[in-house]
Structure 1
Amino acid sequence: MTDHEKVNILLVDDQPAKLLAYEVILKDLGENLVVATSGRDALEYLLKNDVAVILVDVCMPELDGFELAGMIREHPRFQKTAMIFISAIQVSDIDRLRGYEMGAVDYVPVPVIPEVLRAKVKVFAELYRKTRALERFNAELEDRVRARTAELQETNARLLESEQRRNLAIAAGKMGSWDWDWINGDWMWDDGQFHIFGVDPQTFEVTPANVQALLHPDDIDQLGNAMAQFAKGTKSYEAEFRINRPDGEVRWCVGTAAATLDSGGRVVRVSGVTIDITDRKHAEERQNLLTREVDHRAKNALALAQSIVRLTRGENVKTYIQAVEGRISALARVHTILSLSSWQGAEIGRLVDEELAPYSVGDQTVFCGSEVQLQPATAQTLALALHELVTNSAKYGALSMLSGRLSIKWEVQADVLVLAWEERGGPLVQTPISRGFGTRSVIASIESQLGGKAEFDWRSEGLICRLSVPLARNAAISELNVRQNTAVNGNGAKRIARSADI
């Protein structure tokens, strides 16, 4: 689009007389004026053509100006098209706000002042023309930049390829090249080879004895094996080996060698490349360690899941499924917490908060205690025990009623985590004749798996449970991080104040 190319101006009104008047007013602009007698006609034209300015009557039957503007703005191609509303009625501030929200750039009241309308349309037509010219210029500039970038990239690729071929032996300080005269025993090392072996080119003399002294004792036999293979007519040889640098560092390398034969088939020269693969070896070791760690954790998780499935009981299939799903969900939550710490441990406050989250309505639940970092195995088992207590409370105890209250406190006493669970305000509690599955699960988790103790006091006003978990039992596996700072749940200062009353 040139500076003198006409742009399309769409005039939308259901009254032909008004359209004619708009055409007369805007004729002197020299633009292409297009008329539409309805919103539908306007939309059909817009789908096939680009428009610089749309002049819309607010009051039209079937589809008024606001609705038409909203439909136009939904089309990606016309999201920035200038729309001017013409209104024959008094427009309120709310109507103006609605029009601007629909995408209007200006309002023109009736009776229309020709000079004002012509000036407004001219401004937006010129803006459209300049914008299109700028877009075209930017597109051309981007094409030039892309073409120039492609040329530079191609040139750079050729330079890099040439550089790589020229410096194959010493690329990135991880490679070195060498040459050995089989006949007179002369050796030649480049700078990369000296760097890999960690020796000074000015003082180190390359001889079989000196080279052998730098090889790892377990890999010296490979040097003799390579010489024997070449003596038998082998043309190439490759092996991994370790070197002991003079500074004591051990490096892993892979060496590739090729023999040059004379006309009689005898070896006259052996040339090769040495590549430092220490980083790759370390990465492989870390990967193997990670694989073993994942396998170990997966087995632990499967063992816990197997135990949950085997020990869970239910009155029917539905209750059995709900119980299993609840316990698996509890296990999944603690696994999430552990994964966020890279399996270094889980803070007990997080475990309690996760379990009580569905019941944290108002001040029904409160908890506080010292900040204790639990090792993964302890966190998993304690989380399942807490889940059983919460589930039982939600079914039969304080959490089964809105009037019920539950408080949880914990502290560390001589390397023993002591957690006090207290319910009140719920249904009347009666001492059970026999232990239910939930109670047995808590006892088994705390006492059998963690070597602790679980005590239950079935008071009429609510259950009191005391869990004691020895923290130093597995100190060799995980160092505990116990800091005597108050830990509270997500309700902030309000929950801190209530915790002081527990």
Structure 2
Amino acid sequence: MDHEKVNILLVDDQPAKLLAYEVILKDLGENLVAAASGREALEILLKTEIAVILVDVCMPELDGFELAAMIRDHPRFQKTSMIFISAIQVSDFDRLRGYEMGAVDYVPVPVVPEVLRAKVRIFAELYRKTRQLEHLNAELEDRVRARTAELEESTARLIESEQRRSMALAAGRMGSWDWDWDNGDWMWDEGQYRIFGVEPQQFEVNSANIRTLLHPDDVEDLRRMIEEFAKGAQSHEAEFRIHRPDGEMRWCVGTAAATLDKNGRIVRVSGVTVDITDRKRAEERQNLLTREVDHRAKNALALAQSIVRLTRADNVKTYVNAVEGRINALARVHTILSLSSWQGAEISKLVDEEIAAYSMGGQIRLSGSEVQLQPATAQTLALALHELITNSAKYGALSTLSGHLSIEWDVEDDVLALIWEETGGPQVQPPTSRGFGTRSLMTSVESQLGGQALFDWRAEGLICRLLIPLARKKPIAELHDRHGAAANLSRQRAS
């Protein structure tokens, strides 16, 4: 008994540090058991007697403090020696917190091998002596149980109750359970009930009822786990989904370990359930964002490519200015959409951005209710407004101080009608051919948005009507008929 090896559990998420601890403690002649995470450490504790736990303070998922609290929560491990290893400067407050969580000592990094060996040796010997006393006490209890059947039965119930106690924090995201392999009885702790969204007083824990809460596609995994244990497996881990009675679906990860009797036969399966719904949703949001960014980048590059390929000019300078202007218009609407997390753009902000360089002289009048545009609609409309304002500044009303521009918009039956009306500028001559700006404006509005762009080249100034479906595409003819009255009214006002 004096030379019986004891198990020392080494918990650290860094393999190199685990290897270093094993090298340092190898000369003690004890059994060294390594765990790369808090979850793996819990699994080992479920089926192995541990004398001393050496745990890193800083670990992902479960740090040293959280793991210590979970271990101390179980009566079997309330006296297990735990030594914290910390690579950071530990304050008095952190030390107090650690001692409250169950630490018996601290070892700073860099670790001094002689110090670490000395501390572990002391607690291993203390555990060995304690076990000797426990064995002596067990012998005395055996004699008492032989004489008193009632005391034996009471002690057996106490041991069984202790083994069924939860090892997980019942904080809503973790729970523990036990399943009797022989009679099929289940035992859940409070955290397990909370994860499944049921009340202990109203839910009978049995295999049939549990299956009704599992996602249909994951019921087969439960059957497969039972088969693996029956074939000799001693642990199992899997992700699964549950449907709570209130209709909410939750993602969980479960870890199970088998307890064997002295003949190697399974007598009980114990496990820990962790609610990972938040992590799953974060992963889904990240994947969605990645796909969305890729989609938007491709769209922006396609628009820029079209601008570069289709722009025409008499010389290089004019060409560069035209391309830069159109790409800047695209960049401005991109900024507006980015500020709204690509949920959409308000039409007033879109118009303000495009006319900002020409709005100082009071020549422009805006009128219209607030309308939220989808990203694709906002991008196309921004380029259309850029072409109109550029043309007006070069040849139309904004090319002279006497000119005026009116921009009005309204929504009727999910159709945006924007009327661009110029007056007071140079006399307008209807163009003999359509330039790139006019052609790209009409093409983008009509083919991309299913709308219509109508031009009225009056001598006193251009009137342009943009009809854009917001909710569903309507036939071009229907849009023209529905808004024809608005065009006639604009002409009457102009004359």
Regarding TM over 0.5, the answer is yes
1:308–1:245 Cα change, 3 Å: same
Partner Cα separation in structure 2 for residue 299 and residue 474 of structure 1: 24
* Corresponding position: 1:158 with 2:99: yes
Q: Deviations over 1:77-131 (max 9, x none)?
A: xxxxxxxxxxxxxxxxxxxxxxxxxxxxxxxxxxxxxxxxxxxxxxxxxxxxxxx
1:228-377 correspondence runs (5 A): 228-377=227-376
SS for the counterpart of 2:338 is: helix
1:438–1:204 Cα change, 3 Å: closer
What residue ranges of structure 1 are gaps of 5+ in the alignment? 1-148, 476-499
SS for the counterpart of 2:467 is: strand
What residue ranges of structure 2 are gaps of 5+ in the alignment? 1-89, 104-164, 475-492
Structure 2 residue aligned with 1:191: 190
Structure 2 residue aligned with 1:31: none
1:501–1:339 Cα change, 3 Å: farther
1:267–1:340 Cα change, 3 Å: same
Partner Cα separation in structure 2 for residue 206 and residue 420 of structure 1: 68
Structure 2 residue aligned with 1:4: none
Shift in Å, 1:186? 4.2
2:359 partner amino acid: S
TM-score (normalizing by structure 2): 0.59
Partner Cα separation in structure 2 for residue 365 and residue 473 of structure 1: 31
Shift in Å, 1:302? 3.0
Shift in Å, 1:184? 4.8
Structure 2 residue aligned with 1:27: none
Partner Cα separation in structure 1 for residue 284 and residue 243 of structure 2: 19
Structure 2 residue aligned with 1:443: 442
2:238 partner amino acid: A
Contact 2:173–2:275, Cα closer than 8 Å, also in 1: yes
Q: Deviations over 1:343-370 (max 9, x none)?
A: 3332222222111101112223222233
Partner Cα separation in structure 1 for residue 452 and residue 215 of structure 2: 55
Contact 1:170–1:191, Cα closer than 8 Å, also in 2: no
Q: Deviations over 1:272-306 (max 9, x none)?
A: 11112223233333333333333333333333223
Shift in Å, 1:159? 2.2
* Corresponding position: 1:399 with 2:381: no
Contact 1:168–1:175, Cα closer than 8 Å, also in 2: no
* Corresponding position: 1:214 with 2:220: no
SS for the counterpart of 1:295 is: helix
Partner Cα separation in structure 2 for residue 187 and residue 348 of structure 1: 61
Shift in Å, 1:158? 3.3
Contact 2:166–2:177, Cα closer than 8 Å, also in 1: no
1:341–1:256 Cα change, 3 Å: same
SS for the counterpart of 2:325 is: helix
SS for the counterpart of 1:188 is: strand
SS for the counterpart of 1:466 is: strand
RMSD: 3.1
Structure 1 residue aligned with 2:466: 467
1:151 partner amino acid: D
Q: Deviations over 1:161-204 (max 9, x none)?
A: 66xxx975124221111223334544332222232233333454
SS for the counterpart of 1:193 is: helix
Contact 2:166–2:175, Cα closer than 8 Å, also in 1: no
Shift in Å, 1:160? 4.2
1:183–1:368 Cα change, 3 Å: closer
Contact 1:187–1:206, Cα closer than 8 Å, also in 2: yes
Partner Cα separation in structure 1 for residue 412 and residue 212 of structure 2: 59
Shift in Å, 1:248? 4.2
Partner Cα separation in structure 1 for residue 368 and residue 202 of structure 2: 66
Partner Cα separation in structure 2 for residue 206 and residue 470 of structure 1: 56
Q: Deviations over 1:417-470 (max 9, x none)?
A: 333323344444333222222222222223333333333333444333333334
Q: State percent identity of aligned pairs.
A: 72
2:95 partner amino acid: E
Structure 2 residue aligned with 1:143: none
Shift in Å, 1:394? 2.0
Structure 1 residue aligned with 2:487: none
SS for the counterpart of 1:169 is: coil
Q: Deviations over 1:26-63 (max 9, x none)?
A: xxxxxxxxxxxxxxxxxxxxxxxxxxxxxxxxxxxxxx
Structure 2 residue aligned with 1:134: none
2:327 partner amino acid: I
Partner Cα separation in structure 2 for residue 181 and residue 167 of structure 1: 15
Shift in Å, 1:386? 0.8
1:201–1:473 Cα change, 3 Å: closer
1:252–1:377 Cα change, 3 Å: same
Structure 1 residue aligned with 2:381: 382
